[in-house]
Amino acid sequence: MLLIAIGVVLVTGSGTPEGTPEAAAPTGADAAEEEAGPGSTPDAAETSMRTWEPYAGPATPTEVSVGEGPHSLPEDPCAAFGAETLAGMRVEEDDPYLHVTDFLSSCSWSGRTDDNVSVSLDLEYMVSTDDPESVSQAEERFGPKSDVFGMFGTRLEKRAMDIGDESVLVYSDNRDDTTERLAELLIRRDNMLVEVKWGPRGTDSMGPVLTFEHAEQVMPELGRQALNHLG
């Protein structure tokens, strides 16, 4: 006699075969990915600090729109750069260092990428201590101020820029740290001097990460944004 064995599967109310463990609910990053939906990517602000990449600035370059001088020092220089710019420069938006006096207004940011590139970004607005509204004194201070750029290493490049009434970009190395390159931009607009300084420091295995071509591309954009914050 031919016997045919028929397996019977008992089905629970949920449709899962009895005795088969149900899949555990996703947690942590898996849950976040499932909630976001297939094909989703992390928000740009969350990923911007992960690795070092050259920042070219916004898709549309900033146009300078500044009223007639004399200009007053910004009360909040830390507001000169928005979140996109700070993320692109690889510095943290939170907890910048603010310093304001009667003749100087400055802000400093820092950051470190996941591939261990440390970055500093400094912005400084300055007026004359003798006469804060004097254009001629700002003109006199422009040359000596730019002459000290690169003093902690060797000037590798110096180039005049077309920003404000006069401006210069200096690119230098650091005699005490071969992994650092420093870009310093000085701008004069009427009675105001504006300095932007950016110093990415690579790792020993990377070496320097900032090239002059990169500095020449992005520093003028920072200068234009800084000018638009003049009081």
Please state the three-class secondary structure of 147-197 as a single string: HCCCCCCCEEEEEECCCCCEEEEEEEEECCEEEEEEEEEEEEECCEEEEEE
Provide the CATH number for the domain around residue 81. 3.40.1000
Q: Is residue 9 part of a domain?
A: no
Which residue shows structure tokens 């300055």? 126
Angle at the Cα of 161 from the Cα atoms of 101 and 99, rounded to 5 degrees = 15
pLDDT tens for the 231 residues of the chain, in order? 444 443 433 334 444 444 434 444 444 444 444 444 444 444 444 444 568 887 888 889 999 999 999 999 999 999 999 999 999 999 999 989 999 999 999 999 999 999 999 999 999 999 999 999 999 999 999 999 999 998 888 999 999 999 999 999 999 998 888 888 999 999 999 999 999 999 999 999 888 999 999 999 999 999 999 999 997
Q: Is residue 25 part of a domain?
A: no
Q: Is residue 23 part of a domain?
A: no
List beta partners, residue 119: 111, 200
DSSP 77: G
Written as six digits, the tokens of 168 are 């210069």
Q: Is residue 134 part of a domain?
A: yes
* DSSP β-ladder status, 155-160 and 118-126: unpaired
Q: Is residue 16 part of a domain?
A: no
Total of domains in the chain: 1
| Structural domain containing residue 103 | 68-227
pTM of the model: 0.77
Written as six digits, the tokens of 110 are 């820092």
Q: Is residue 14 part of a domain?
A: no
| Residue-wise pLDDT tens digits, 15-43 | 444 443 444 444 444 444 444 444 444 44
Residues 6+ apart with CB under 8 A from 33: 26, 40
